[in-house]
Structure 1
Amino acid sequence: MRAALAEKGIDVHWLGMATYGTPYDAQWRPEFSYGSLVETPNGASERDQAEALVEALEEGEFDGIFINVLSDRIQTNIARYLPDKFLRIMIVHNITAGTYSAANAIKNHVHATVGVSDRIRSDLVRKLGFPADRTFAIPHAASAPTMRQFRREPNPADTLRVIFLGRIEDASKGVFWLPEIFAHLPQSIHLTVAGDGPDLESLKSKMATRQRQTTFLGAVHPEAVFDLLLRHDILVMPSRFEGFGLTITEAMSAGCIPVVSRIRGVTDTIVDDGTNGFLFTIGNVREAAQIIGQIHSSRKTAQWMSDAARHKANSTFTIGNMAERYDDVIRHVTAHRPAIALPLKMRDWSMPKGLRSGLRTFVPRPVKNWLRMMRERI
């Protein structure tokens, strides 16, 4: 989106935070030409880090800031302390109670809010009282395959290639349902697990009886994602909750058919069930397996659905569409800048309740998982 907004006269840079000498993966080195790290000494207080961030924003002569809620507590809370001259647009990426609490904690200190799905915008306006005229829904864009050679890898006879792509974590992504789904599928259907996360080793253990049917790739660089998806027929995503589901649009842009859990206002706004992908009830492993089996049994259906998925992604979830909508929001709030709460004094730095750990931190994971599943099913 950086390049697309540059065409509209909007120059976007990123700012991250780290302690002095923090190592980073060399594969990210090209990104440093588009942004920089704000470094502080090890042990620096939150207020010291916040002051360094404000100083970097002022030295960089930035006009405004995108605040990605809960990407970092300090960077989220900085909205309450920024000088008046900075335009502030908050971006909310998830539908969890913790994310909403954090967004609510700073809502009076931002000029506009963007939810990455219709569900998020609806929840913020209806449940948390966000102003409807300053709260927007802008879905993520798929990568731009038109700039790459599009050629799907031919599928070996009688096999089906399924991929899970994302963070290997059960609480949100539902990865421990994968072994149960594949227990209902023949060995000719192969699963690739691409990604890393806290539940990777546990998932490997649970898939141990299906080693010949499963490949674990580990973390995949973003530049390699599109070509990887071209080599697979189905994306399976058994998530309990998502803010949007960028992986779905990436898969669709590569002609990889999404088979994903139905999350109201999120996945059902991306996938047209039965037309360019399939939706299944959260946690219903037999339904997910049945859908995958049906695709396996009808290559002709799989082909036209693959084509439909690619058409939907490349006509709807494009970088151009996304940039156009962000441009509209930026120009709207710049021309009609709303009054917001006065900035707080940096000397009084504190974390509001919504950015502190609450009682939900102590709820056992299995209970949380059950509650999340039932909430979405209802």
Structure 2
Amino acid sequence: MKIAYFVLPHLGGTYTVFRNLRAGLAPHGIELCWLGLAPAGQGLASGLEQEAAFGTLVEVPSQVDDRAAARLLERAILAGGFDGVVVNVLSDRIQTNIVRYLPADLIRLMVVHNITPGTYAAAEAIRPHVHATVCVSQRCRDDLVKRHHFPAGRTSVIANAVALDAFPETGRSPRPSGQGLRLLFLGRIEDASKGVFWLPDILARLPASSTLTIAGDGHDLKRLKAAMPERAPRVVYAGAVAAQAVPALLARHDIFLMPSRYEGLPMALVEAMAAGCVPVVSRLRGVTDMIVEHGRDGLLFPVGDTASAAEIVRTLDTDHAQLCSLSVAARRKVEGAFTVEHMAAGYATIFRGIAADPPLIAAPLSINGWSMPRGLRAGLRTFLPRPLKNWLRGVRERL
């Protein structure tokens, strides 16, 4: 079986999921290949050229419209001899929408990576045209089944997962004598979802011996640096980190700090726990508390409560035994339920089930009538001021 996974190679969680899933599905006889759209002449991002061996880049000339781009995508799918596709909802709007137009004999699996209303609206727009839905967290599934009427029997939870052999148990770097806790933020530098503008306030409440490394890139990096300038060793900006360098980076830090407003199930959190880097993260119902059991293998704080986050870190700074206990338990949690083997087995079961007995779905639409359904078009929420949206997101998680 050969499956196209809609994604472009990049330094980020969705592509890490692809790489792990590709390796995990191979023993099941399923070949997973990435397939992505990009402007003509752009090519793959620097440092990721080797990923061309595992997928297909569909180049889109600048003068073509969405319908023409969709035709190019459809042509690549058919030419590739794929048995099915995996669409990551809202990763790309054309690729999300294309499942409504593909030939009826192709397997179509939708993956929902986030808990935002916009993501759910897009998922609902293509639901009649997919055979099954995978949610990366329990929260996603609960919301889609209970509030958006997704069929329970065709909506599953399969968590993002890691390859444990990349995270050796003996790989942790000891903290130098007399040094405070080494904190790490790893992810997209973006405030709306990641809450990065809370980092300066958290750090300001910590002992001067504590250090913070910020690894990643994003459109809010410049503003974050203005609010919290680099002052090594107290604050260090490490920039974007290649996937193969992530385990060593995590092993050099004691605490993974994640003040997010919303997530699906962040790969960085799973990776941190695999490395024994203790998670101190926002409590997101059905998301972070799906993997972190507060006080056992990590610690949770209310969204936006920088004082609580800092108090947790200060406590760990004076309780080495608890820090070590949480580190060991975090690793054990990943070993038990968040491995590539576990994730791949879940996907393989779904693919084979669809192939053997495909559920009845809506008939394909004609690509001549290409259009974006309402759930994939910009809605009122798109135009709300960012501060108001951020406030609403915080309120939603606290209720």
Q: Please, which runs of 5 or more residues in structure 2 have no aligned partner?
A: 1-20
Q: Are 1:300 and 2:317 matched, yes or no?
A: no
Per the alignment, residue 219 of structure 2 pairs with: 198
> Residue type of the partner of 1:16?
G
Per the alignment, residue 43 of structure 1 pairs with: 63
Distance 1:68 1:209 in 2: 35
Preserved contact between residue 164 and residue 192 of structure 1 (Cα < 8 Å): yes
> Residue type of the partner of 1:32?
A
Q: Deviations over 1:251-300 (max 9, x none)?
A: 01001000000000000011010011000011111110010011111112
Per the alignment, residue 356 of structure 2 pairs with: 335
2:143 equivalent among 101, 123, 129: 123
Distance 2:241 2:67 in 1: 35
Distance 1:376 1:96 in 2: 11
Distance 2:356 2:172 in 1: 46
Q: Secondary structure at the match of 2:109?
A: strand
TM alignment of 1:26-105, pairs within 5 A: 26-105=46-125
Preserved contact between residue 104 and residue 363 of structure 2 (Cα < 8 Å): yes
Distance 1:120 1:232 in 2: 30
Distance 2:27 2:329 in 1: 30
Q: Are 1:253 and 2:274 matched, yes or no?
A: yes
Distance 1:23 1:321 in 2: 33
* 1:126 Cα offset (Å): 0.5
Q: Are 1:243 and 2:264 matched, yes or no?
A: yes
Aligned length: 378
Q: Secondary structure at the match of 1:62?
A: coil
> Residue type of the partner of 1:61?
G
TM alignment of 1:152-301, pairs within 5 A: 152-158=172-178, 159-208=180-229, 213-301=234-322
Distance 1:258 1:148 in 2: 18
Distance 2:327 2:43 in 1: 41
Q: Please, which runs of 5 or more residues in structure 1 have no aligned partner?
A: none
> Residue type of the partner of 1:21?
G
* 1:318 Cα offset (Å): 0.1
TM-score with structure 2 setting the length: 0.92
Q: Deviations over 1:212-263 (max 9, x none)?
A: 5100011111111111000000000000001112111100100100000000
Per mean C-alpha deviation after superposition, the further-off stretch among 150-159 and 253-262 is 150-159
Q: Secondary structure at the match of 2:276?
A: coil
TM-score with structure 1 setting the length: 0.97
Distance 1:212 1:220 in 2: 19
Distance 2:203 2:46 in 1: 36
Q: Secondary structure at the match of 1:367?
A: helix
Per the alignment, residue 15 of structure 2 pairs with: none
* 1:182 Cα offset (Å): 1.1
* 1:6 Cα offset (Å): 1.0
1:317 equivalent among 330, 335, 338: 338
Q: Secondary structure at the match of 1:139?
A: coil
> Residue type of the partner of 1:79?
V
* 1:26 Cα offset (Å): 3.5
Distance 2:102 2:131 in 1: 12
* 1:370 Cα offset (Å): 0.6
Q: Secondary structure at the match of 2:281?
A: strand
Q: Please report the RMSD computed on the Cα atoms of aligned residues, expressed in angstroms.
A: 1.3
Preserved contact between residue 145 and residue 253 of structure 1 (Cα < 8 Å): no
Distance 2:225 2:167 in 1: 36
Closer, same or farther in 2 for the Cα pair 1:313/1:323, shift >3 Å?
same
Give the percent of matched residue pairs that are identical in Structure 1 and Structure 2: 52
Distance 1:270 1:219 in 2: 25
* 1:142 Cα offset (Å): 2.2
Preserved contact between residue 64 and residue 88 of structure 1 (Cα < 8 Å): yes
Q: Secondary structure at the match of 1:324?
A: helix
